[in-house]
Amino acid sequence: MKPTHQCNQIDLKLENQEVIVAGWVQRRRDHGGLIFIDLRDSNDLVQVVFSPETAQDAHKLAHELRSEFVIAVQGKVSKRPEGTENPNLTTGEIEIMADELEIINRSETPPFVIEDSGPQVSEDTKLKYRYLDLRRPSMQRNLRVRHKATMAARNYLDKQGFFEIETPVLTKSTPEGARDFLVPSRFNPGKFFAMPQSPQLFKQLLMISGFGKYFQIVKCYRDEDLRADRQFEFTQIDIEMSFTDEEEIFALTEGLFADIFQKCLGITIPTPIKRMKYHEAMERFGSDKPDERFGMELINISDIVADCQFKVFSSIVAKDGQVKAIVAPKQADLSRKQIDILTDFVKDFGAKGLVSFKILEDEVDSPVRKYFSDEVLKNIIERTEAKVGDLILIVADKPKVVAESLGRLRLKLGNDLGLIDESQFKFSWIVDFPLFHYNEEEKRLDSEHHPFTGIHEKDMELLDIDPLKVRSRSYDLVLNGSELASGSIRIHKQDLQEKIFRILKINKEEAQQKFGFFLEALKFGAPPHGGIAPGLDRLVAIMCGIKSIRDVIAFPKTQSGTCPLTGAPSEVSEEQLKELGLSVEEVLE
């Protein structure tokens, strides 16, 4: 039997009409003489009724049905008896009175229940049987949202005059911070292709080629530690434009996201999206991807405690360190043990300790209370706007450590205390990033984003004097505390690009070996250009209200970088290795 309708197309308008539906048996229920099944297709669920009085053969066959059998049913659409409607289903007002039943394929009992509300199952089990996990309504919804977002992006950019152009997947290794995935070349023994971490250089070459507006829904590959928002392979909406500037890219990107959210969720995104300078984000939130759905901002009290008797604070301020506080609302009743847990938490991010002040009705309680005069405490309370019942938490250290540890603590408490409104979508542009940061381990400068990032014209002279003060023409779009897109206006002059390589301690030979083809291209009239690359996986995860991008990717890897479904990565035969001129040595741990 060939289906005439999808489950979500069946409603009261079809009452008394014959339809054919096909799908999987979600569950079967025997109620005396009647047998009820919930039939699920890729769009929805519908109730089917088998009666021995009206369809004896179908009723008899229905006794054989089990979960996940693939079936087709023909029957008449009927209004459910009063009081039996299911408001939780879009098809909850109707049922199908079966005339015929065809069992297309039988199923073994699945390793877990194919329902969102079923018992919890380990991620490894779900990924081993991912084809079953993908049958769940929530996973179907997630991938449907991903499809709609992808189509919305393609259609929007097409209307804006962009060309979708594919760039190579096998390319040259030009590490951009993370490790490359390498692919040995059989035709060139001892040499390797790399999987692209991004199409960065190719899209810049396309600008030099005269394609003024490029985009690509592109797979990228980075061999890095995995977590909830990272995978070895990920997808981005890659965009590049010639003869452009930040304002044009901001407007284009805002229009793109407004279109995606409207088409996928029916939500209007207010534009223009506000801008925040990198320095302000770090000062207020301790992060360049601030979550602005709740308060509890970092407050600098360094000037207040600079001369206090608590030497931990005063000595750090004297050494150009910082002392900052956050206020945890209504948490003055936390126990010493609970505060010790928070102290251990900030120590994981480099802080040496955590000072607490409980603001009580008639006193301020703290293990270090005796070192602070009433005047200093009064100024701290006024600066932080702490109220009775609040808990002030303070970290003192180098600015980088204060930002990292206190910013992380802010996010932890925001989640733990239920301060975050999960229904909100808070966007912001972060601008004026530094061009470089200092690599403490290797004692040299590194690019804050990548070495092809343009420079503020006013800061050009600082390149030779104080490169750490140079501002880049890069920008990030942040949504709910996640970096959703990153981009920049690029360097388009060869001499400046070579100078940046020199500052990064990339010598002439290394620059030629890694980027010679690109430096050569810059000689031939490269136009000013810039772009941005929103991450599709993160975007869809946030839109669907889930924490892990694994739940919006059809076949992801586990956190340990494996695929339980296929068994990848796996060993290969000696013959394959021999063809590639490779051998495998045992690594002793």
Considering the domain architecture, whether residues 452 and 330 belong to the same structural domain is answered as no
Q: Determine, yes or no, domain membership for 459.
A: yes
The CATH number covering residue 53 comes to: 2.40.50.140
331 pLDDT above the threshold of 90: yes
Q: Kindly list the distances between the CA atom of residue 504 and the CA atoms of 444, 475, 486, in Å, as whole numbers in the listed order.
A: 7, 21, 21
Please tell me the predicted confidence (pLDDT) of residue 175. 66
Range of the domain at 496: 140-276+427-552
Amino acid at 485: A
70: its two tokens: 């693939």
Determine the pLDDT at residue 589: 60
Please state, for a pLDDT cut of 70, what percent of the chain lies above it. 99
Answer whether residue 385 shows pLDDT above 90. yes
Q: What length does the chain have?
A: 589
Same domain, 48 and 162: no
Which of 361, 389, 416 corresponds to the end of one domain? Answer: 416
Cα atoms in the Cβ-side hemisphere of radius 13 Å centred on 429: 21
**Span 319-334, average pLDDT:** 96
The CA–CA distances, whole Å, from 193 to 170, 173, 529, 572 equal 6, 7, 27, 19
The verdict on 300 and 212 lying in the same domain is no
d(CA 285, CA 312): 23
Please report which confidence band the pLDDT of residue 81 belongs to, taking 50, 70 and 90 as the band edges: very high
- Look at residue 120 and tell me if it is in a domain: no
Mean pLDDT of 292-320: 96
**Domain identity same for 437 and 537:** yes
Let me know whether 515 and 449 are in one domain.
yes
Exposed e or buried b for every residue in 252-264, given b needs 16+ CB within 10 A? bbbbbbbbbbebb
Measured CA to CA, the distance from residue 467 to residue 231 in angstroms comes to 33
The domain spanning residue 320 has which CATH number? 3.30.1360.30
Query: Same domain, yes or no, for 262 and 375?
Result: no
Q: Are residues 377 and 478 in the same domain?
A: no
Whether 588 shows a pLDDT value over 70: the answer reads no
pLDDT at 225: 87
Residue 16: its pLDDT value, please? 96
Residue 2 has which token pair? 């060939």
Using a 10 angstrom Cβ sphere, with 0-12 exposed, 13-18 middle and 19 or more buried, the burial of residue 348 is exposed
Instruction: Identify whether residues 253 and 144 lie together within a single domain.
Output: yes
285 found inside a domain: no
Q: What is the pLDDT of residues 511-551, one digit of tens each?
A: 999 999 999 999 999 999 999 999 999 999 999 999 999 99
Instruction: Tell me the one-letter amino acid at 317.
Output: V
pLDDT band at 119, cuts 50/70/90? confident
On whether both 166 and 63 belong to a single domain, the answer is no
- Counting the structural domains of the chain, the total is 3
Query: For the residues of 35-71, what is the DSSP string, one character each?
Result: EEEEEE-SS-EEEEEE-TTT-HHHHHHHTT--TT-EE
For residue range 444-461, what is the model confidence (pLDDT) as tens digits?
899 999 999 999 999 999
CA dist., res. 127 & res. 13, Å (int): 40
Considering the domain architecture, whether residues 411 and 458 belong to the same structural domain is answered as no
Element (H, E) at 326: strand 322-328
Backbone dihedral angles phi then psi of residue 503, each to the nearest 5 degrees: -60, -35
